[in-house]
Structure 1
Amino acid sequence: MPLYQITNDALLELPSTSFQQESLWERRDLQRLLKVNIQAIDENVMVIAEEFGDWSESGRRIDLLAIDRDANLVVIELKRTDCGGHMELQAIRYAAMVANMTWDHAKSAFQKYLINNQIDADAEAKLCEFLGWSDPNEDDFAQNVRIVLASANFSKEITTSVLWLNDRDLDISCVRLSLHKIDDKLVLSADQIIPLPEAESYQIEVKQKRRQERVSRTENKDRSLFSITYMEKVYAEGFKKSDIAYHTVSLLDEKGLIDDDVFDFLRSDTSCSFRLLKHLEEMTETEKRYSKYRFNREPEIRYGDSGYYIARNWGVNNVQKFIDKIEARFPKICYSSNSNI
């Protein structure tokens, strides 16, 4: 899109140029400048990591990883080329890789980013401030992953693919980056071409409706709070499902109910698709990355000469199985929640 300088007598078209002509590179220049001025391409996001690649299975890295005001993760990919290459496929891979990122993992990545950029701030406090939260709300974090593609231009293959993917409930934006010159000064123009800004609010409403319908069909994004009683006395109350195993094992330990037989019963339990109790050395890198166990603290229970961590991978489809198993084995233990599981 041409830009014009207004004079008293005319509109003077500013000469266009390219990133290649000006010797501007993706990482050295675009990424460096945009990470501290991300509002140029999206005014509602905050960068929390650059060159993010915290996974063992791949050497690929996300140019910029951000969050938006709705606590969604945002994968931002940058290209200086006139076609965009295969950036949409690359970004989809990255979105899939970060889809299960936890609050703790994001907080850790952001703290590292702040330190590397010599920003004196607490990551969790800064995240909560940006999101308008008084306290961390892990259940509302990263419910969706958005993608922003920013390039000098986009091939027809990319725009066609993005339109098709968006129609199937992905959330991908394309921002065209144009360079112009005023005398010896470079001017950057960032124009969102997909979705068109004037149609974006309507498309967002349609997507939100689809997501709400999907959520209501497939899950109750569970806000339930649980309580556990022993011999009709409350042991712990008002905790989330992610802590149900922790409080259960703590109760059994505190009441002296764990002998070798019970320990073997707990150790072999896989109600949540992970072993209920694990040594630190037994955890996979994936389990650590997505905080399936609270491994970054002292062991939560000790038995014999060993310390163990308690699984926290609990969802609406597996927590009831665990409750049924525990209540059957220990009739004096009873669970309740403030909604149906």
Structure 2
Amino acid sequence: MFKIDPTTNRINPLEAKRFTDLGFSERKHLQEWLENYPQALAQGDGEELLIIQKEFDGFDDTRERLDLLAIDKDGNLVIIENKLDDTGRDVVWQALKYAGYCANLSKSQVVDIYQRYLNQKAQESGEPAASAADNLVEFLEVDGLEAAQINRIKTQRLIFVAARYRKEVTNTVLWLSQFGIACQCFKVTPYQAGAELFLNVEQIIPTPESTEFMIGMVAKESEEKSADTEEKHRHTLRLAFWEQALEAFSQSACSLYNNISPAKDHWLSAGSGLRSMPYNLIFGKTEVRVEFSMQRSEAEVNAFVFEQLLAEKEVIQETFGAELVWLPLPNKKACRIQYSKPVDGYDKANWPEIIQWMIVHMTKLELALRDHLKSINQGLKQASLPAIEAANG
């Protein structure tokens, strides 16, 4: 790793260090860093990790502790093992034991494990504990906890983190990968430049070039498995609802969804004129929503657009005709503005009323935001990302 000196137009090498030489330990430092920023290990496009436990020892008939337990966007449990400067010889065996323990966890047990983690965090901070169920529904982007597919059979993932990997470890990981066990190895290296310290996190197994191929193989196997009956029912129901909704929208004054096809998801998106910032219709079992979502990969741009709209909150809400829910979501990349209604969405007798509600309120939302978004879009075209970051403070 090199540091760029723009004054001299030269690069200067940074000094690679050992964690122990810098006084860093596995539990107090590396583990804490990854717990508070798990995205360091989520380097794939669109990948996110949510930490749900730390030093978990709640397995039956054993007091062994796994370092970090996370869940990914597909509801798969992720076992994270940290070994600082050297992996040692037994790290793969340890992780496999933990994966075996975790494979038996039911959805309700996973929720309970996460809730205990949130309760401990709340106790440490003195703030009220968040709801594990609500957090998981939000993170997994599903229509209620009952719709979430969590810790399905043969979906557990292993992530290893260390500065140096022994050959017997990397060979075993590569061999396990051939049998569909999702394993990743991250090499972490601390660097020092004077008083400044840096950390490089690099995925070495599988290599970034082969990751897409391996994911494709796993996805193919998953597609060949028979789908759960309940999930099939939800997909069929949503598809039927969106077909009716889109037909009604096509006959209304709202043209946002004129070129949109029905889908099996619980949301339907339409363009707003701003890249990766769609209008969404949300169809759930107990709630329907209209919303504007700011979901670019650059969190700073999302925050900038949200703040620009928030400054016009009174005008926007007056035009809309009701108070909107404004969600900056500081711990996530996306921001949202939404309006909802409680319903019995899976009762088809309610669909005409629900669809009419969606048409009326999506029309109002587009009208309330349209001119503001045009102005913001012009500003985005003229502003650079550093300028946006500076504007966000």
- Deviation, structure 1 residue 224: 8.1
Aligned to 1:285: none
Q: Percent identity?
A: 30
The answer as to 2:172 corresponding to 1:161 is: yes
The answer as to 2:200 corresponding to 1:186 is: no
The answer as to 2:107 corresponding to 1:103 is: yes
Tell me the TM-score normalized by structure 1: 0.61
Secondary structure at the aligned position of 1:51 is classed as strand
Relative to structure 1, the CA distance from residue 121 to residue 15 in structure 2 (aligned partners, 3 Å threshold; closer, same or farther) is same
AA at the equivalent of 1:45: L
Secondary structure at the aligned position of 2:216 is classed as helix
Secondary structure at the aligned position of 1:121 is classed as coil
AA at the equivalent of 1:44: E
Tell me the TM-score normalized by structure 2: 0.53
- Deviation, structure 1 residue 6: 1.0
Relative to structure 1, the CA distance from residue 12 to residue 106 in structure 2 (aligned partners, 3 Å threshold; closer, same or farther) is same
CA distance, structure 1, for counterparts of residue 18 and residue 41 of structure 2: 18
Larger displacement relative to structure 2 (80-89 or 170-179): 80-89
Confirm or deny: 8 A CA contact 2:147 2:231 kept in the other structure. no
Match of 2:136 among 112, 116, 127: 127
Relative to structure 1, the CA distance from residue 224 to residue 180 in structure 2 (aligned partners, 3 Å threshold; closer, same or farther) is closer
1:276-326 Cα deviation digits (max 9, x unpaired): xxxxxxxxxxxxxxxxxxxxxxxxxxxxxxxxxxxxxxxxxxxxxxxxxxx
Aligned to 1:284: none
CA RMSD in angstroms, aligned pairs only: 2.0
CA distance, structure 2, for counterparts of residue 35 and residue 221 of structure 1: 33
Confirm or deny: 8 A CA contact 1:102 1:138 kept in the other structure. no
1:129-152 Cα deviation digits (max 9, x unpaired): 000012013672111101111111
More helix by share: 2
The answer as to 2:153 corresponding to 1:149 is: no
Confirm or deny: 8 A CA contact 2:89 2:168 kept in the other structure. no
Relative to structure 1, the CA distance from residue 224 to residue 107 in structure 2 (aligned partners, 3 Å threshold; closer, same or farther) is closer
The answer as to 2:17 corresponding to 1:6 is: no
Relative to structure 1, the CA distance from residue 41 to residue 225 in structure 2 (aligned partners, 3 Å threshold; closer, same or farther) is closer
CA distance, structure 1, for counterparts of residue 24 and residue 64 of structure 2: 22
Unaligned runs of 5+ in 1: 227-341
Confirm or deny: 8 A CA contact 1:48 1:65 kept in the other structure. yes
Relative to structure 1, the CA distance from residue 128 to residue 168 in structure 2 (aligned partners, 3 Å threshold; closer, same or farther) is same
**Pair member with larger Rg:** 1
CA distance, structure 2, for counterparts of residue 19 and residue 168 of structure 1: 33
Aligned to 1:322: none
Match of 1:176 among 176, 181, 187: 187
Secondary structure at the aligned position of 1:66 is classed as strand
1:207-248 Cα deviation digits (max 9, x unpaired): 2212443x34xxx6443899xxxxxxxxxxxxxxxxxxxxxx
Larger displacement relative to structure 2 (14-23 or 80-89): 80-89
CA distance, structure 2, for counterparts of residue 127 and residue 224 of structure 1: 18
Secondary structure at the aligned position of 1:92 is classed as helix
Relative to structure 1, the CA distance from residue 139 to residue 100 in structure 2 (aligned partners, 3 Å threshold; closer, same or farther) is farther
1:88-145 Cα deviation digits (max 9, x unpaired): 1110110010102112111111111112122631110001100001201367211110
CA distance, structure 2, for counterparts of residue 84 and residue 28 of structure 1: 19
Confirm or deny: 8 A CA contact 1:103 1:138 kept in the other structure. no
CA distance, structure 2, for counterparts of residue 173 and residue 225 of structure 1: 32
